[in-house]
Amino acid sequence: MTYKIRTFDVFTRRRLEGNGLAVVLDAEGLAPETMQAIAREMNLSETVFLLPPVNPGSAARAKIFTPSTELPFAGHPTIGAAWALWSEGRLDGLEHFTLDEEVGPVQIRKSAGERAEPMFWLTCPPISFGLVIDDRARVAAALHLAEPDLLPTVPIQLVDSGGPKLYVALRHLETVDRAVSDGHLLGALGEHLAVPVYLFAAAAPDRLYGRMFGPAVGVSEDPATGSAAGPLAAFAVRHGIVQRGASVALLIEQGTKMGRRSLLHVELTYEPGGDSPSLVEVGGEVAAVLSGELSVD
């Protein structure tokens, strides 16, 4: 059997930057174990397989795999899949639509970009703030850092939005680049912390600089993590790193240390008196790279 496959760089307008993504179109007939094998073969952060939608009115169903596991939701595959559908002429001019993912229907909107091609925005699944980790020295050591490198006023906390991540705020930008993704030490933090770790620092009042270490999901370091960007922005506002307003627009830079600079746009909306944002959207640009044919026995 043969399938059309395309690759994209997501959260960038420059090819060979951003986060690489493989999209297999019309993937009916592929078993989940075959999808996993294809994702392992592609060896990108994620590979997404597009299938007929489950829910009436959705544009497609998207199944997302890292090289080692299936994910219920991920940001750059969602944005890249939306862009792939648009570039293939499969959106029929829709400006708003949904993609069916394991986490449920994900809302997408299209907006004009700075180029001829559009930008796509996803609505984050509900954000929940979870366990706070008190052993700050041990978490710092797992990142090859010391406790004084951490921002003392901000907790180390699990935050979930379609998949939990551990957020670690650092004092300085250079400390973000000095950290090391160490699967052994991160895994030794405990089974309840076997999740991706997102470390970051403020680069400007409306800009954050971060890295995401994901040995727990088979990705040593991710160039751009759309599923982490919305919760990161909400976390930064919640703990005073970013000033709150009725609406907040942030730019998150990630992947630069890897030579895969990515720019993730986040927009948050807050209702008066609300503790958490009522709407969180993550958007980005996409650059098409390859188009070809995938052969599967």
Q: Which of 17, 46, 221, 253 is catalytic?
A: 46
Cα–Cα nearest to 139, from 121, 151, 129: 151
Q: Is 114 a catalytic residue?
A: no
Instruction: Count other C-beta atoms under 10 Å from residue 161's C-beta.
Output: 23
> Cα(196)–Cα(200) distance, rounded to whole angstroms?
13
Contact 210/221 with Cβ under 8 angstroms? no
Instruction: Count other C-beta atoms under 10 Å from residue 56's C-beta.
Output: 5
> Cα(86)–Cα(118) distance, rounded to whole angstroms?
9
Residue type, 197: V
Residue type, 59: A
To the nearest 10°, report the CA torsion of 165, 206, 248, 288: -70
Cite the active site residues: 46
